[in-house]
Structure 1
Amino acid sequence: MTTVLETLDKGTAYLTKKGIEDARRNMQMLVAHQLSCTRMDLYLRFDQPLDEGDLVPLRDLLKRRGDGVPIQHLLGIVQFHNRDFKTDSRALIPRPETEELAEWLLKNAKLPAGARILDMGCGSGILGLTLAAENPEARVTLADLSPEALSLTKENAQRLDITNVDFVESDLFSALGDTRFDLIVANLPYVPEVDRPTLSREVQHDPDLALFGGPDGLDVIRRFVPEAAKRLLPGGWLALEIGIDQAAQTEALLETAGLTDLLTLKDLSGIARFPTARRSAV
C-alpha cells in the first residue's frame, strides 16, 4: 500500500515534469487537503498508508494541477491576513501583494470612528472584508461590476460573519449615488492586453474582466481616479494596486485629480505597486 511519503515523492515528480513551480509544496498542500490536516502534520504521517478512498480524489486533483488549474481553486480557499477566504473562478485569485497593502492601510491610514470605506472592484472581497473585520465600527461598501464576483464576496462575508458591509453591483461609481468615503481602495484590472499571450496557465483561469485594462492596462484606472477623488471626504485616503511600470502614469493621474501626499509603496519584490494619496483636509 502507498504511504504518504511515497505519494508526496511521486506527485512531486509528476508536477515537476508538468512544469509546476514549487512542485513539492503544491503536492504537500494537495495531500494535506485530502487528509484534512496541515502541511506540518504530514511530517508525522510519512509512514501512514493511503487507501483508494484517498488516492482516487487525490489523483484527480493532481492531474488538474498538472494541467494548470490554480492550487487555490483546487483547495477552494486562500489565507489572507489570518483568515480563510473562499476562492474560485468567479473572481481574481487573491495575490500575496494585496495583503501587503491591507497591512499598510491598517497601520497607517488612521480612520475616524464610524468611517465609511469603499472597496471598488472587490472581487472575492478579501481587501474590503479584511478592512471591515479590523474596523468593526466602520461601514464598508463592496462594489464590483461582476455579479458573479459579488456573489463570492457575499459568501465570504457570511462564512466569516462580517456584517458591517454593503454590496453594490456597479460599473465604477455608477450605482453608488453621491456617497463619500474616508477610504477608497481598488484593485482594478491593470494587465495590458498585449501581455495576454505571456500570462501563466494559472492566471489565465482568472476572469478577463478582472485582468485586462486595455492596451496599456490603465483604461479603467484612468476612468476611476478622477471620480474617486471627488468621492473622498476631506482628509480621505485613496489606495490602489497597479502593475509593473505603471506608477509614474498613475501618480500623474492622482496629482491631476487634485490629491496630495502622493506615495507609491513598493511590494516585497521591490516593484512600485501601491500608489496612495489623500484629499486635502481643508
Structure 2
Amino acid sequence: MRQITVLEAVHQARRTIGDIDARMLLQHVLDMSHAVLIAHSDRELLPEQAQYFVQLAQRRAHGEPVAYLTGKREFYSLDFKVSPAVLIPRPETELLVDLALERSPVDCLLKILDLGTGSGAIALTIAKYRPLASVTAVDASNDAVAIAKSNAKQLGVSNVNIIRSNWFDRLVGERFDLIVSNPPYVAGADPHLAQGDLRFEPSMALTDSGDGLSCLRTIIAAAPAHLETGGTLLVEHGYDQAQTCRLLLEEAGFGAIICRPDLAGIARISGGICMI
C-alpha cells in the first residue's frame, strides 16, 4: 500500500463513512487531537497506520459504532473506556448527571447509588464532581463491572464502590440519599433495535424484551426501601414513558415528582422524593 497523507486518507474514507467519522478514526489511529490532525494534513501515514485506518473505516461502513472501534467515548467532558459489553454513553444522559449534581451539595457527605452502571459513566462523573460523596455503582454484568472499575482507575476516582448486583439484590438494608439509573427501557418490538449503533450494543442494556417498562417498574417500586426519607430517585426513560413513570412514582409513594426534557425537548428524566 503506497503512503498517503492525512488529507488523502480522510478524503478517501469520507465517501463511505462521512467526514466526521473518518476524522475521528484517523485521530485514533494517529493518536492525535482534531486540531493537530488539521494542522498536519500533509503528514504521511506509515503503511501499518494506513492499513489499520482502512480496516477501521471498512468496519464502520458495515455499521460498527465509532466508540467501539476506538474503545472510548467522551461523556461530561471525561473520557470513558467502552466495549461491546457496555452501552455507549449518550449526550442526553448528561441531563441525568446534571439533575443528580443539582441535588447533591458539594460540601455534603451523601450516599449515592447508580443502578445498571455499565461503563460507569454516570456514577464516576458524579463521584468525580462530588468528591465527598460515597457512590455505589452496580451492574448485573461481570464485564461491565470490570470496565467500570477500569474507568474508575483511569479517572482517578476513589470514592466509588463498584459491585456486581442485579438491581438491589446485594444492597439489602442499605439506604441512600440519591438513586439514579439509566435502565433498559426500549420495547422489544421497537424497530430501532435493528438499526444503527443499537445493532451492536448489548441487548440487555437496551431492552427488557417486553414493553420496555419492567426495569423501570422494578426500580421505582423497590427504591423507597433503599432511600432515606427525603431522598431522591431519578431515572432516564423513553420518549413515550413519562406519564407511565409519573404514575409508577405516585403509586410508590414519591412526592414532588418531576419530569425534565432533554435538549431535543423530549421528556427524558423523571423522579421524585421519597416520602416514606
TM-score, length of structure 2 as denominator length: 0.94
How far residue 193 of structure 1 moved from its aligned partner, in angstroms, is: 0.5
* 3-state secondary structure, aligned to 1:217: coil
Residue pairs, 1:53-202, within 5 angstroms: 53-110=48-105, 113-196=108-191, 198-202=193-197
**Structure 1, 199-208 or 132-141: larger mean CA deviation:** 199-208
State the one-letter code of the partner of 2:76: H
Q: Which residue of 2 aligns with 1:236?
A: 231
Q: Which residue of 1 aligns with 2:9?
A: 7
Q: Which residue of 1 aligns with 2:240?
A: 245
State the one-letter code of the partner of 1:9: H
* 3-state secondary structure, aligned to 1:179: coil
Contact kept? 2:232, 2:273, Cα under 8 Å: yes
Contact kept? 1:80, 1:126, Cα under 8 Å: yes
**Structure 1, 90-99 or 36-45: larger mean CA deviation:** 36-45
* d(CA) in 2 for partners of 1:35, 1:72: 16
How far residue 253 of structure 1 moved from its aligned partner, in angstroms, is: 0.3
Contact kept? 1:121, 1:143, Cα under 8 Å: yes
* d(CA) in 2 for partners of 1:175, 1:107: 28
* d(CA) in 1 for partners of 2:106, 2:37: 43
Contact kept? 1:109, 1:237, Cα under 8 Å: no
* 3-state secondary structure, aligned to 2:79: strand
* 3-state secondary structure, aligned to 1:194: coil
* 3-state secondary structure, aligned to 1:37: coil
* d(CA) in 2 for partners of 1:213, 1:272: 20
* 3-state secondary structure, aligned to 1:93: coil
Contact kept? 2:95, 2:269, Cα under 8 Å: no
State the one-letter code of the partner of 1:59: V
Q: Give the gaps of 5 or more residues in structure 2.
A: none
How far residue 229 of structure 1 moved from its aligned partner, in angstroms, is: 2.0
How far residue 198 of structure 1 moved from its aligned partner, in angstroms, is: 4.9
- Measured against aligned partners, the alpha-carbon deviations of 1:59-104 in whole angstroms (never above 9, x if no partner) come to 1111111111110011111111221110111111111111122123
State the one-letter code of the partner of 1:73: Y
* 3-state secondary structure, aligned to 1:34: helix
Contact kept? 2:235, 2:271, Cα under 8 Å: yes
Out of 236, 239, 261, the position equivalent to 1:266 is 261
Out of 49, 52, 60, the position equivalent to 2:47 is 52
Between the aligned residues of both structures, percent identity stands at: 35
- Measured against aligned partners, the alpha-carbon deviations of 1:193-247 in whole angstroms (never above 9, x if no partner) come to 0115653231121111111124220011111101112211122111011012000
Q: Which residue of 2 aligns with 1:18?
A: none
State the one-letter code of the partner of 2:174: T
Q: Give the gaps of 5 or more residues in structure 1.
A: 16-22
Q: RMSD in angstroms over aligned alpha carbons? A: 1.6
How far residue 267 of structure 1 moved from its aligned partner, in angstroms, is: 0.5
* d(CA) in 1 for partners of 2:178, 2:103: 12
State the one-letter code of the partner of 1:5: L
* d(CA) in 2 for partners of 1:278, 1:138: 19
How far residue 115 of structure 1 moved from its aligned partner, in angstroms, is: 0.6
State the one-letter code of the partner of 1:148: D
How far residue 154 of structure 1 moved from its aligned partner, in angstroms, is: 0.8
TM-score, length of structure 1 as denominator length: 0.93
Contact kept? 2:142, 2:164, Cα under 8 Å: yes
